[in-house]
């Protein structure tokens, strides 16, 4: 007798770091539940679209993609998962009748059951908050790297942002669970970890007697086998000296802080409900650079927020020029349904003007990054090797403590998970290019495409300038 056919799934992820981490976890879960993954949507029985609703453009890309597959849908089931499913709810079944399953980000563990229910009844949905357990349980490792979600949800209600509505209230993963997760992963050969939360600096705010984020970061950094530790994202209002002191104390914590400013105009920041001023932000950066001298800082800005005048925008340009960030993600404001900004303000900056501001900010930042790249020539960095380069035979790709990807020729004996030092000599294929100086071999598992690399492909320029390998 032949074995029963496997149910095959195809998973496509849109949007943010959280989504990529959750998708990685979902894959583990589905495979463990008897499904098989395929990278060919035509061969799948279940197509899952893990969606992001933060910006309208992401939502449009999502629906465009689903529509392109829908024409030859056949018996395959389509599942819309994540933020957009939660935000739009069962109305989706009416507006997009070819979608069979809706599943919110917090209930992904229910997907196997939803699949069989939809096969039987035609449709199934699990929206809203589910059991918080899924967030903490499953590994999302890729090669030597693993993102670890430490919080879910957000209650900051920045006026433009849909996340508090899509992902619900702040829930912190118990510190013991975070440590156990990391320990388990170290035992499996993982060497590099990324602690993830919408605002990691609020970690523990929902728990009585929690020490907060800096002690958690310090404890994980002190664990044996953790060679690299990074974290995303830091809200400026909650970021300060206690964090920088922990970073300064632990040489394996990435010298990288991603701290979105959004705008350098105090008036715009007030209407965004960000709860800090430009002066506060600049003082925090000064403190970071004082306590962690080799730190790289990245930020996000939104151009064309309602009421943003040319003067407001010029303020932001001058700020970018002054700060010389390692990377800047630039977004054009898009009105999101249900948010305070959508209710209170008119989306009054014309699209062409948003585009103009976007291009101006981008070209300024591109010049700054080019200069930074050139300044790095001749400098030697400690590099954690992440993977073999796919398009350059015999080459390796590693990351500096600042989170910058470096391409360099291998020597046959070092591989992913090993630390080495590399002197940067130039630029190749979008990467800083260098030569290995010193070997510090340590045993580790095989090559991978790091999640950080994929996360960084979410915009034209990656987190600290990824290349195109």
Which residues of this chain interact with ligand SF4, rule CB under 6 A? 154, 156-158, 161, 163-164, 198-199, 235
Tell me which stretch binds ligand 5AD (CB under 6 A): 114-122, 182-190, 222-230, 327-335. Answer: 327-335
**CB of 161: closest distance to ligand SF4 in angstroms?**
3
Which of the choices ligand 5AD, ligand SF4, none does residue 55 contact, using the CB cut-off of 5 to 8 A by kind? ligand 5AD
> Are 272 and 263 contacting, i.e. CB atoms less than 8 angstroms apart?
yes
Which of the choices ligand 5AD, ligand SF4, none does residue 156 contact, using the CB cut-off of 5 to 8 A by kind? ligand SF4
Tell me which stretch binds ligand 5AD (CB under 6 A): 41-49, 328-336, 398-406, 444-452. Answer: 328-336
Q: Confirm or reject binding of residue 78 to ligand 5AD (CB under 6 A).
A: no
Angstrom distances, CA of residue 86 to CA of 24, 43, 340, 370: 20, 27, 18, 41
**CB of 303: closest distance to ligand 5AD in angstroms?**
9
Q: Which of 54, 103, 368, 414 binds ligand 5AD (CB under 6 A)?
A: 54
Tell me which stretch binds ligand 5AD (CB under 6 A): 108-116, 315-323, 329-337, 459-467. Answer: 329-337
Q: Confirm or reject binding of residue 333 to ligand 5AD (CB under 6 A).
A: yes
Q: Confirm or reject binding of residue 260 to ligand 5AD (CB under 6 A).
A: yes
Which of the choices ligand 5AD, ligand SF4, none does residue 277 contact, using the CB cut-off of 5 to 8 A by kind? none
Q: Confirm or reject binding of residue 302 to ligand 5AD (CB under 6 A).
A: yes
What is the distance between the alpha carbons of residues 409 and 423, in angstroms, rounded to a whole number? 12
Total binding residues toward ligand 5AD, as defined by CB under 6 A: 12
Q: Which of 10, 115, 145, 160 binds ligand 5AD (CB under 6 A)?
A: 160
**CB of 393: closest distance to ligand 5AD in angstroms?**
37
> Are 135 and 149 contacting, i.e. CB atoms less than 8 angstroms apart?
yes
What is the distance, to the nearest Å, from the Cα of residue 175 to the centroid of all Cα atoms in its chain? 21
**Which residues here bind ligand 5AD, judged by CB under 6 A?**
54-55, 160-161, 260, 262, 300, 302, 331, 333-334, 336
């Amino acid at each position: 007798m032949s074995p029963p056919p496997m149910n095959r799934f195809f998973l496509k992820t849109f949007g943010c770091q959280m989504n990529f981490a959750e998708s990685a976890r979902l894959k583990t879960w589905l495979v463990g539940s008897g499904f098989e993954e395929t990278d060919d949507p035509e061969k799948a029985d279940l197509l899952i679209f893990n969606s992001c609703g933060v910006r309208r453009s992401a939502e449009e890309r999502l629906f465009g993609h689903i529509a392109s597959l829908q024409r030859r849908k056949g018996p395959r089931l389509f599942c819309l998962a994540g933020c957009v499913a939660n935000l739009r709810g069962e109305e989706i079944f009416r507006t997009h009748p070819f979608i069979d399953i809706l599943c919110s980000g917090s209930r992904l563990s229910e997907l196997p059951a939803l699949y069989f229910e939809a096969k039987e009844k035609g449709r199934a949905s699990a929206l809203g908050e589910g059991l918080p357990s899924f967030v903490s349980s499953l590994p999302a490792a890729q090669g030597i790297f693993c993102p670890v979600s430490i919080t879910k949800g957000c209650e900051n209600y920045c006026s433009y942002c849909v996340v508090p509505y899509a992902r619900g209230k702040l829930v912190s993963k118990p510190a013991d669970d975070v440590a156990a997760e990391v320990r388990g992963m170290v035992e499996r050969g993982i060497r590099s970890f990324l602690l993830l939360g919408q605002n990691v600096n609020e970690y523990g705010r929902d728990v009585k007697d929690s020490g907060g984020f800096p002690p958690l970061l310090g404890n994980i950094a002190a664990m044996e086998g953790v060679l690299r530790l990074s974290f995303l994202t830091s809200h400026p209002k909650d970021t300060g000296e206690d964090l920088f002191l922990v970073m300064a104390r632990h040489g394996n914590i990435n010298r990288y802080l991603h701290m979105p400013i959004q705008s350098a105009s105090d008036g715009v920041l007030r209407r965004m409900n960000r709860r800090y001023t430009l002066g506060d932000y600049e003082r925090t950066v000064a403190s970071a650079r004082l306590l962690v001298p080799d730190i790289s800082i990245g930020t996000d800005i939104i151009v064309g927020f309602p009421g943003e005048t040319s003067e407001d925008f010029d303020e932001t340009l001058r700020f970018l020029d002054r700060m010389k960030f390692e990377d800047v993600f630039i977004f054009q404001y898009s009105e999101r349904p249900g948010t305070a900004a959508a209710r209170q303000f008119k989306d009054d900056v014309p699209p062409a003007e948003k585009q103009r501001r976007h291009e101006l900010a981008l070209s300024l930042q591109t010049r700054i990054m080019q200069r930074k790249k050139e300044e790095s020539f001749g400098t030697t960095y400690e590099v954690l090797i992440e993977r073999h380069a796919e398009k350059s035979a015999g080459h390796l790709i590693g990351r500096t403590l600042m989170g910058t990807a470096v391409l360099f020729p291998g020597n046959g004996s070092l591989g992913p998970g090993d630390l080495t030092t590399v002197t940067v000599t130039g630029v190749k294929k979008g990467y800083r290019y260098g030569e290995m100086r010193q070997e510090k071999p340590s045993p580790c598992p095989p090559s991978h495409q790091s999640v950080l690399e994929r996360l960084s492909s979410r915009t034209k320029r990656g987190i600290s300038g990824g290349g195109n390998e």
